[in-house]
Amino acid sequence: MEYRNLGASGLKVPVLSFGTGTFGGQGPLFSAWGRSGTDEARRLVDICLDAGVNLFDSADVYSNGASEEILGAAIKGRRDKVLISTKMGLPMGEGPLDAGSSRQRLPASVDAALRRLGTDHIDLLQLHAFDAFTPIEEVLSTLDMLVRAGKLRYVGVSNFAGWQLMKSLAIADRHGWPRYVAHQVYYSLLGRDYEWELMPLARDQGVGALVWSPLGWGRLTGKIRRGQPLPQGSRLHATAQFGPPVDDARLYAVVDVLDAIAAETARTVPQVAIAWLLSRPTVSSVIIGARDEAQLRDNLGAVGWSLSADQIKRLDEVSAVMPPYPYYPYRIQEGFARINPLPV
């Protein structure tokens, strides 16, 4: 297993981390993701640790807290061997205090997560979404308080827009509060929007990307083929409406190239798709999920080898989409590109 610094921080993380959204299986979305109970979760954690994957990512909204509870039970007795990342901020109920990142809510949410996880600290806390109703100064000063109390080691965000992240970093610098060192983002061969603004920002500011849904919301598993119906066991039957949309023509074009490279490398389609992500700038770790041991072991096969320059180029070209304004001039007009080239 390769390890990278998480952004500009001193925290070393594995290039593959494990997402525990499959733990618990409560509700229509998370039950479609997976239904791992404590025994199966413990087995998946065992496999991860044996492979050098020691970062486990969760969220309070995953199965209404059950994911964190099962993760806590699965790592019991070996807390010193793992890194725990979790997220909060999305609604956990219908009440006015059941969502957001206010000083009223964050400390209580952190304490609740600590109880569910059975630990006294969280290695990386990420805000699951930008809270437009709470001043950024209030959010950051509260996180500073929680870091100083020893309950959090590092802080990050997820699903922020560029201006939201940059403004937060500037305010943190102004007051000497903890900077966000991680941004958990959607990024895949089917969704490269991260590259347009968030990647240049991350490179400039030292923010590491933790990639969620690296297989395009389950579309790059190797089971979806041109001219064939959606496999009966695919979770897309139940979850497609919750995830990022994908044009079918582009999907099949990407899958065709993935198939060819998988044959050339004697690897699987998911392994090739994840290996491509590991070659991208600013990516600190790719979060893999698995409903069972076979899926996990296959995803773990994405490390220990590399795509060739030609193979990366072919994947780049087939998955490329012209970015919107103001980004496209830097791709297609020489004068723009000469003075400010995009990072990819």
Question: What is the per-residue pLDDT for 237?
Answer: 42
Question: What is the per-residue pLDDT for 263?
Answer: 98
List, for residues 26-37, the tens digit of each pLDDT value.
777 676 666 789
Question: What is the per-residue pLDDT for 244?
Answer: 78
Q: Which residues of the chain have pLDDT under 70?
A: 29, 31-34, 230-242, 343-344
Cα 142 from Cα 155, distance rounded (Å): 11
Going by their DSSP bridges, the two strands 3-5 and 12-14 should be labelled as antiparallel
Long-range contacts of 143-150 (CB under 8 A, 24+ apart): 143/106, 143/177, 143/178, 144/175, 144/177, 144/178, 145/107, 146/106, 146/107, 146/110, 147/178, 150/120, 150/121
Does a cis peptide bond (omega within 30 degrees of 0) precede residue 214?
no
Tell me the C-alpha to C-alpha distance, in Å, between residue 184 and each of 43, 125, 285. Answer: 25, 11, 9
Question: What is the per-residue pLDDT for 74?
Answer: 97
The catalytic residue positions are 62
